[in-house]
Structure 1
Amino acid sequence: MNERIAHALDAVTAERATTALLSVRDLSVRFRLRGGRGVAAVSDASFDLAPGECLALVGESGCGKSVLASALLGLLPANAEARGTAWLAASATAGDAGDSAVLRAGGRPGLDLLAADERTLARTVRGRLVGLVPQSPAAHLTPVRTVRSQLEETVRELTDTPRRERRAAAEAAAERAAFPAGHLDRYPHELSGGLAQRAATALALIGDAPLLLADEPTTGLDRELVDRTADELRRHTDTGKALLLITHDLAAARRVADRVAVMYAGRIVETAPAARFFDGSGPRHPYARGLLDALPEREFTPIPGLPPELSNLPEGCAFAPRCPRATAACAVRPDMRAQVACHHPHGEPGDADRA
């Protein structure tokens, strides 16, 4: 890629940051282990997310996607250390009745989610400014309360709504999440995995938060329900909300996403418009291209080898041992230039594989 195109892409990134609802810069998460060892679960992740936009964060299991989401909501375990910034813009906090620290943190309108204290996160952020569809819904649902009562309680906490209207709101949220009305008065332990997933989705949607984090929201669902859930998330986004969709389901990502970010071994290695990623010239990073080639409807060719251990990452490109395009240059870690972190990306001048 020539310098003119690279600079143009960098300019687009800078412009996107000025209009972003969420702007994440150099987010890293490290877990402290016994014996002084550490695991770099997320390393220097940066991305922007605008109102009305869905960014799909994709990659193999264990690459750090869910850890990133937990960091944004302050839900990391005690042995985790997070650094960087995750700035939630003033446009998200403007309608909130929380304290002034949320509306103007450090003299800047908005809120740095990574720097917020637990009181702010619990009382103002979670469920109000940032909704969550969790990866493990059974642990997210209150075991001693029915799904209906949890939905109605969420409405009561967020708005001063009469009881009759709360009931209607709960039923409407259940319908949006394809949760059967006949199961609303059941307890979480009476639900299948797929039903628990849909109940958690309904709880996230009912809050109508400006930013929604959906962590594997289609787990345990058949293809028809996957498509229905993806379509509802798309409708939610089209109302002006921002959506970070964390998924390994590339078909669901294709159905709902505006942009795609690919994560490998704790690092974002490529971001691209969804149209180009899925239907245009395709991904530029060899790992991202390998993800698509492994799909049954494509070449059905698995990526050889295994991801590296996060506790023992190589100095250079983490994908190099599995990459057919690797050279001696890959012993040095590539920078994220023109939205791809690779010394030999597809689509370079003279690349026989470019579309």
Structure 2
Amino acid sequence: MLSVRDLTVRFRLRGGRSVAAVSDASFDLAPRECLALVGESGCGKSVLASALLGLLPANAEARGTARLAGAAGTASPDAPARPALDLLAADERTLARTVRGRLVGLVPQSPAAHLTPVRTVRSQLEETVRALTDTPRRERRAAAEAAAERAAFPAGHLDRYPHELSGGLAQRAATALALIGDAPLLLADEPTTGLDRELVDRTADELRRHTDTGKAVLLITHDLAAARRVADRVAVMYAGRIVETTPAARFFDGPGPRHPYARGLLDALPEREFTPIPGLPPELSNLPEGCAFAPRCPRVSAACAVRPEPRSQVACHHPHGEPGDPDRA
């Protein structure tokens, strides 16, 4: 469905300087698959999603490739497949008219910024139904209400304006809007923010149903419980780089992740060791020469002065599970 190679996003700063928020990110996403992209705040997860949809600010530039496989037209499953499209090379007209909402849906991290403040939730849902589907006019109201139900948005709040919604309700409204186009690829950027655990589980289950119909989901989240419920694979991001990609079963229930940072994320959970990772993530404008995690890593050695290249889907000089490792499972 999606093949990303060497995606790098740099922001130009005053004085001619620039800083890389995402560096050389590569991953694949297949139909019927959910890939969870996890990591601490500020590691570059949301910047990556914005790059895929052409939503970066004017002072940003992206390079690499992000090829979206050809997909049948949204109006009919029998429509001919489109050719593969490089999202990073597409112009704004193509992104606005062909990609956003139709081929790639977005659940935004900040839903309030994506909801029109002067229109009710119902009217925005119905307008999205009209724009993205061939639903007859007399059926649009029902289609909008069905989308709201899928996102667990209460019917009694459909005629409210965005400023009358709590953060959790705004998040569910944004999720409902993203689901309407039934896009082959869904980018869900922190879709469970502000939700209680019951609604988190319901949102995760809806994302799972989305993949079960043959579509793909890129779930960007810091909520590992939600990721465990829905993900097929987990990609761990640190300081702008993907440091490990592994099956979710291994990450959560099997031998565990191999990168020390990924292992630290799990150990910080309350139901596990509840041990926080020491220190703070580095400033992206002041990264160390070698491994960015080295100052916080219990396995650091002189070898870590050189940046590790990914080997077997993990970028670490001393990953867990190597021969001779006392923690090897």
Task: Assess if the C-alpha contact under 8 Å between 1:320 and 1:326 holds in 2.
Answer: yes
C-alpha offsets along residues 175-219 of structure 1, whole Å, 9 cap, x if unaligned? Answer: 010000011111111111000000000000111000000000000
Q: Does the CA-based 8 Å contact 2:72-2:78 persist in structure 1? A: no
C-alpha deviations, 1:45-65, integer Å up to 9, x for none?
000000010000000000000
Secondary structure of 2:172 counterpart: helix
Between the aligned partners of 1:146 and 1:281, the Cα distance in structure 2 is 48
TM-superposed deviation, 1:107? 15
Report the aligned-residue RMSD: 2.9
Q: Give the Cα separation in 2 of the matches to 1:115 and 1:46.
A: 16
**Residues 97 and 109 of structure 1: is their aligned pair in 2 closer, same or farther, counting only changes over 3 Å?**
closer
Runs of 4+ off more than 4 Å: 94-98, 100-108
Kindly state the Cα deviation for residue 109 of structure 1 after the two structures are TM-superposed: 3.1
Distance 1:46 1:103, change over 3 A: farther
Q: Structure 1 residue 347: deviation in Å?
A: 0.1
The 3 A distance-change label for structure 1 pair 160 and 101 is closer
Shift in Å, 1:314? 1.1
Q: Measure the CA separation in 1 of the matches of 2:317 and 2:134.
A: 55
If the length of structure 1 is used for normalisation, what is the TM-score?
0.89
Q: In 2, are the aligned partners of 1:103 and 1:111 still within 8 Å (CA)?
A: no
Flag the 1:29–1:102 CA change in 2: closer, same or farther, 3 A. Answer: farther
- 1:56 to 1:39, Cα distance in 2 relative to 1, 3 A: same
The Cα shift of 1:164 comes to: 2.3
The alpha carbon displacement at 1:79 in A equals 0.3
C-alpha deviation, 1:337, in angstroms: 1.1
Contact 1:102 1:110 in 2 (8 A): no
Map of 1:258-297 to 2, 5 A cutoff? 258-297=232-271
Shift of 1:36: 1.9
> Offset of 1:103 from its aligned partner?
16
Give the deviation of 1:95 after TM superposition.
Answer: 8.1
The structural deviation recorded for 1:105 is 19
Q: 2-side partners of 1:155 and 1:179: how far apart?
A: 16
**Which segments of 5 or more consecutive residues in structure 1 lack a partner in the other structure?**
1-20, 89-93
Tell me if structure 2 keeps the 8 A contact 1:104–1:111.
no
Answering whether residue 25 of structure 2 is matched by residue 45 of structure 1, we say yes
Aligned residue pairs: how many? 329
Residues 101, 183 of structure 1: CA spacing in aligned structure 2 closer, same or farther, 3 A cutoff?
A: closer
Distance in 2 between residues matched to 1:241 and 1:108, nearest whole Å: 15
Residue 155 of structure 1 deviates from its aligned partner by 1.1
Q: Does 1:308 align with 2:282?
A: yes
Stretch of structure 1 that moved more, 209-218 or 157-166: 157-166
Q: Please tell me whether the aligned partners of residues 103 and 110 of structure 1 are also in contact (alpha carbons under 8 angstroms).
A: no
CA contact (8 A) 2:72 2:80 kept: no
Shift of 1:308: 0.6
TM-score (norm 2): 0.96
Q: Secondary structure at the match of 2:186?
A: strand
Displacement of 1:120: 0.2
Query: Which runs of 5 or more residues in structure 2 are unaligned?
Result: none
Q: Is the 8 A contact 2:121 2:161 kept in 1?
A: yes
Change (3 A) 1:105 1:318: farther
Call closer, same or farther: CA 1:328–1:116 in 2, change over 3 Å: same
Say which SS state the counterpart of residue 105 (structure 1) adopts. coil
**Higher deviation after alignment, 252-261 or 145-154:** 145-154
